[in-house]
Structure 1
């Protein structure tokens, strides 16, 4: 992910865009979702199916709820049990009976082959490493021996069940390990109608939403004011009756202040009164709306001890990275037609609410003008795959210099117009600001100069309206769903409660996270994760030492950077103390009597003030700035920090009761992935202190570039299933490098654990034919089980920095000789090629 993006949690706005382009809601209503991450960070996954629109009386999603056991405490388990229907309870008891029967049978079978005097949990052990063929697939199998040790603890049975229920044993793992590991999972988990993709990530996210729903709908009044604000915010969002009563009036009242919307008020809008500076400043300050450029505050990339103002290019109406939808109007004509229809339908609702009428032909002309203008804007947007050179994007100027780039804006007036009152004089013409895209600003200035003012006003206010849709009633849901269906293939709108969970976590991330960890997170898991991080860090350092393409000086610097990586695990400690959490939110006052629009405005003002106040403070590299109630992981180059929220530290990705082969193969690979982000094509541009600085010897850098090109070329050859597109290897290189390095580090760390243990771990029940090394790689692949609609696959190729799930498995494992050895893959089989790409 580009380093020069402001944190979404800081830069809350109606028109804010989500880093995950798999979230169409980022395009539609700008609501940060639970895949939102600091824009300076690289997230592990962008798999986040939309779940933000529906009516309040929609029923629960009919998703299975028990495949992965909740790692919560007794209180949450009891509450969860009583929230199940009688049928669900009966099914749960039946499944538990079957699992118990399976465990007993496996135990009896194993012990019948071993010695009878062993305890019930394990049988006698043997260290034989003999491998033979398998009738199902040509893998290196470990035959049961007379003294083979089998783990039948609850954690082992659960982990084995997760893997077995996903596998397709009829497939040759050396030719298609993804289908081997995930074939049954994908068949048994069809994509729900209210989603456009579904995988293990989405499954856990849905489970977390269910958990959060129970917590937020509880009638227990919290002693913490911050926690109570979270619960009130959710209930306000769910109050559809009030939304239907208010309609679009809250926003329509504000149109007069910004000079009216020509599409809606052709008789009231006056060209001679149009003022670009005032329009952009007012819509940014009052509604968080940004169109032609984005303003944010973050660490100065060349001096990360302090914060700095940044200005970056704008984002199109169809989302970040969506320029191809506009530029290839032949291929994506249906998408643009759906977008145009959406504009018309939104305007018609606003007209009905305001008792306005417009000539149909004139209205059509306005709609077409917006689309044509946005097409022109798309031509000057810098593609995301050209935004990976952070030095090119670091251009320090004075505020006065911006006048030369976009003379249509009175910049000093603009900045003072968007700042909190106490900081209105903080910015002057000599204030330093970092410009990410100088040429873009000059080009957008030319576009503005050549465009009629009426079109400019229509476009800016359309983007404001578009991003505010979520704040209004359910009339917008159906028309929005038509656009969603075309863009992603999602068939139906999602239950409103899902969107309200999502919005609440986004608006109040730490307060919402405190509710989650209180009920669903074990402190012991945090310590276990920290231990794994230390082991993965040591494994990465070994890879650096073993590299034959880096000189000793560069190796030393790389090792020092790895040792300086900051760990943010689970949650920030202060959110467990009510007084400290309340103090964090002391200037935000949400009440149960607020309307949803008022709620948003309060959070927006509070968030914007917090953002600009950072200009008076040093950059805090130790700030835990992601909600714990998030299923993802992140790396920040400016902080040189990795973040693992509590939400990802749960089954099937991680559990203290799982065998280490499973934990290292899944969450261990994630930890390695985030560590490696510090040394991918972008992270490698920052030093141990997070400063943008070249620390590479010339020969070492040349070796890195050569290996990076190998990764780019490799992934560029993969054709994405369901599309006519190949992966953009240039766009996805950072994530691909991180994937490859992460698994390799995790495997090394696991084998070092085994050496320290002194013997192999017991086998998993039902998987005795697989070695623990094979289980490790199987666990990694299981992490990425999932599938998506064809339209969503196209969207991912065009907009997402992550490769499709199948290639996060096939691409990585084909580069690992350790995998080929573990599965005894023949030479020149798909996953044991003659040539491999290895960076770390």
Structure 2
């Protein structure tokens, strides 16, 4: 079911600076091209024969109306193999669009789910492996940063070769920098050397797991400034998992910890005592650390000078925060703003930790460090984190090794890896078209707001101003098109040594330092924050009022510059509309337009929206996810459900607007000629949400995710849309058409 990474490269521009190969290389290259072309032709002919063999004839006009490019053939094949025409689209549109895909999809050993989104992610991962493992063509001059990225990737792939060296590096680092691991040192570990805040500082310094996260953010109340955010971090060995697997997690944590013991010899009796104490500690600390339902409403906003007093804890905590920023060469001033999430949890958990054995606390934090940093460690240590993350599944470490290295490099050397990805898989023309699509959808939403009857004029005016001011960051940051690439040249140009683990720790330290350094820097509103071009998702950033749609997401089936626009609007267009709609939900509405928080709507308009939201909440409360026989929670998912409903309308109306100025441009796909362009818009929308998952994952999803399951994202939004009914001839009251539709804009 996985598509190879090369499937998206057919439209990229041909480089003009290619050197001429030798005759032998030319013959080899020509042979490869011929084989590729013949393979493509055979696939195309087989597909066309299969889908058209029942037809008596194809007239010339029909042929001219078909899109027969390789990209169109691939898209048509995927959709044809997904749609189940035995299902009435008016009864269950999700089963209609995904029926055959669901029957054929399988959950692999290393994953608890499969979906179109996950298939795209796999394709992205394979592309990153290909990019990082390849060598530049003759005559190509790469920056030192890119050369370092390739060098480090190879070091990652081959890191098991230096077995003794890397294991010694890890143990030496834990011993010298983090204070050691009592679990393996036995009675030799000196409890008097334990310093909780020193250990927390070191873990933060190396950007690793810490009990309390301290980070620099754009201030929630004033987006022209940065401030400090502090919140409790959910532990990796967490009581939350006990609700899923019961006591199994305790047994599994023992297995994981025992795996770590195999790396050294120590007295078993001391290890057994340590493990028992550790399990008790993990169970208790998780009671304080379950923050999945916390929000910014459970916060204290204060200043550095008043931090300890505001949350009623020792001044040692404030000193710890000051020390972190000094690591980034920033001296905190008393008036620097600090937002503390869940101050009660921080205070109570600190009190509990203070009452515990230093030995147990040290073991807990160091083992979390090993689990968290397994990506930069030797195979022997990596198996600890992998065993925990995959629980009882048997997974080959080497099976995921290259992908793991590529993913690690794509986050730690993000600008470098993103730039070479964009060069190959997302050209300027694609970005230009995606930007046009964003502007079209945004303008359509403004028109929808203008036409609404339930908003008062004052709220309409302010809302339209906010939507007009919204920025679309599409594909990649603007500086990627700068030939000098100064930002890339400044990053990651230090010299590596031979130890992959040492280099990984060093780079973590650089990232952490850069993060703390930014506190007093001016805000660059064109910067991409937290989202990379290689991210497989869209995002609305509340404080800057912009949406980010990365290059990796703008691939088939979401978007392709060479495909009919009904596919791109039904795929990426829906996500763009969804993210735009988030700007008006109750989490985002009063932020992003001005530097300070403000009231966008009058109380009357807010009340009118809340009344209409009851319709959405009731609709989704009445859905049952039959796989695990659980009802959806309409209250918890209401903002995402609203964004789905509004996003689909925006994308569809924007597509219809585009067709008015581009008549008869979109051609039909082979095998799917019976469907109108409007129907194909909805079919590709539904197809992008095809998904299967295990019962365990389904229960986690229903309990914690703020989105509805894929099936109900498709059914819920289409059933509220009159234009969907018209496209498929559905009658209100049928399974996929609500009699009383929830209407907003």
Give the TM-score normalised by structure 1. Answer: 0.79
- CA shift, 1:558, in A, is 0.9
Cα pair distance change 1:186/1:593, threshold 3 Å: farther
Task: Tell me how far apart the structure 2 counterparts of residues 505 and 450 of structure 1 sit (CA, whole Å).
Answer: 41
Offset, 1:628: 1.8
Residue in 1 aligned with 2:684? 779
Deviations 1:464-512 (A, max 9, x none): 222122222223455545444448x786554200101100101111110
For residue 248 of structure 1, give the secondary structure of its aligned residue in structure 2. Answer: helix
Asked if residue 281 in structure 1 is aligned to residue 229 in structure 2, the reply is: no
Q: Aligned pair in 2 of structure 1 residues 152, 73: CA closer, same or farther (>3 Å)?
A: closer
Instruction: Output the CA distance in 2 between the equivalents of 1:106 and 1:622.
Output: 54
1:43-442 alignment to 2 at 5 Å? 63-65=2-4, 69-73=8-12, 92-99=40-47, 109-111=57-59, 121-122=64-65, 150-152=66-68, 155-220=71-136, 222-253=141-172, 254-285=174-205, 287-318=206-237, 324-326=240-242, 328=243, 332-346=246-260, 348-352=261-265, 358-378=269-289, 381-384=290-293, 386-387=294-295, 390=296, 393=299, 395-405=301-311, 407-408=313-314, 410-421=316-327, 423=329, 426-442=331-347
Question: Contact conserved, 1:370 with 1:458, CA < 8 A, in 2?
Answer: no
How far is 1:770 from its partner? 1.7
Give 1:686 shift: 1.4
Paired with 1:784 and 1:807, the residues of 2 have a C-alpha distance of 10
Structure with the higher fraction of residues in helix conformation: 2
Residues 114-160 of structure 1 deviation map (CA, whole Å, 9 limit, x = unaligned): 7xxxxx633xxxxxxxxxxxxxxxxxxxxxxxxxxx55455544433
- Matched-pair contact (CA < 8 Å) for 2:418–2:532: yes
- 1:449, CA displacement in angstroms? 4.2
Structure 1: tracts of 5 or more residues without a match: 1-61, 115-119, 123-149
Does the CA-based 8 Å contact 2:239-2:282 persist in structure 1? no
Deviation at 1:647, TM superposition (A): 1.1
Secondary structure in 2 matching 1:211: helix
1:248-288 CA distance string (max 9 Å, x none):
33232233443333333342444444332222112221x22
Q: CA-to-partner distance for each residue in 1:797-840, whole Å, 9 max, x for gaps?
A: 33333322212211221222221222222332221122333444
DSSP-derived class of the 1:167 partner:
coil
Q: Aligned ranges for residues 493-572 of structure 1 at < 5 Å?
A: 493=397, 494-572=399-477
Corresponding residue SS for 1:160: helix
| Cα drift, residue 783 of structure 1 | 1.0
Shift in Å, 1:515: 0.6
174-183 or 270-279, larger mean C-alpha shift = 270-279
**Structure 1 pair 368/793, CA: closer, same or farther in 2 (3 Å)?**
same
CA distance in 2, matches of 1:539, 1:563: 11
* Corresponding residue number in structure 2 for 1:695: 600
Q: CA deviation at 1:66?
A: 7.9
**Per-residue displacement from partner, 1:145-184 (whole Å, max 9, x unpaired)?**
xxxxx55455544433332121111112122211210122
Indicate whether 1:659 and 2:573 are aligned.
Answer: no
CA distance in 2, matches of 1:227, 1:358: 50
| Cα distance in 1 between the residues matched to 2:627 and 2:247 | 19
- Within 2, Cα distance between the matches of 1:796 and 1:197? 11
Residues 583-639 of structure 1 deviation map (CA, whole Å, 9 limit, x = unaligned):
445263454544222222222122122212211211222102432223221110011
In 1, Cα distance between equivalents of 2:288 and 2:146:
42
Q: Deviations over 1:202-248 (max 9, x none)?
A: 22222222222222112337521121122122112111334523353
Cα distance 1:375–1:223, how it changes in 2: closer, same or farther (>3 A)? closer
- Moved segments of 4+, more than 6 Å: 76-90, 102-108
> 2:658 is matched with which residue?
753
- C-alpha separation in 2, matches of 1:460 and 1:430: 32
1:797 and 1:718 mapped to 2: Cα distance? 12
Q: Secondary structure at the match of 2:692?
A: strand
- Cα shift at 1:643: 0.9
Relative to structure 1, is the Cα distance of residues 720 and 580 closer, same or farther in structure 2, using a 3 angstrom cutoff? same
Q: Which has the higher contact order (CA 8 A, sep 6+)?
A: 1
Q: Confirm or deny: 8 A CA contact 1:71 1:520 kept in the other structure.
A: no
Match of 2:735 in 1: 830
Structure 1 residues 244 and 271, CA gap change in structure 2 (3 angstroms) = closer
Displacement after TM superposition at 1:374 (Å): 3.0
CA RMSD of aligned residues (A): 3.4
Which position in structure 2 is the counterpart of 1:38? none
2-structure distance, mates of 1:91, 1:791: 41
Q: What's the offset of the Cα at 1:64?
A: 4.1
Check conservation: 1:662, 1:776, Cα contact below 8 A.
yes
Structure 2: tracts of 5 or more residues without a match: 19-24
Is the CA contact 1:166–1:181 (under 8 Å) kept in the aligned structure 2?
yes
Aligned partners of 1:509 and 1:627 also within 8 Å: yes
Which residue of structure 1 aligns with residue 522 of structure 2?
Answer: 618
Greater mean alpha carbon deviation, residues 503-512 or residues 63-72: 63-72
1:588 to 473, 492, 503: 492
State the distance in 2 between where 1:394 and 1:546 align. 40
Asked if the contact 1:262–1:458 (Cα under 8 Å) also holds between the matched residues in 2, the reply is: yes
Q: Contact between 1:420 and 1:609, CA under 8 Å: does it hold in 2?
A: no
Q: Comparing 158-167 with 472-481, which one deviates more in the overlay?
A: 472-481
Asked if residue 742 in structure 1 is aligned to residue 647 in structure 2, the reply is: yes
**SS of alignment partner, residue 359 of structure 1:** helix
SS at match of 2:406: helix
User: Is the deviation greater in 209-218 or in 682-691?
Assistant: 682-691
- Structure 2 counterpart of 1:599: 503
Residues 1:588 and 1:356: Cα distance change in structure 2 (over 3 Å): farther
**What CA distance in whole angstroms lies between the structure 1 residues aligned with 2:582 and 2:6?**
31
Distance 2:499 2:629 in 1: 46
Change (3 A) 1:255 1:437: same
Question: Structure 1 residue 658: deviation in Å?
Answer: 1.6
C-alpha separation in 1, matches of 2:606 and 2:427: 43
Task: Say if 1:199 and 1:84 are closer, same or farther in 2 by CA, change over 3 A.
Answer: farther
Q: CA deviation at 1:763?
A: 3.7
Does the Cα contact within 8 Å between 2:105 and 2:692 map onto a contact in 1? no
Pair 351,361 (structure 1): closer, same or farther in 2 beyond 3 Å: same
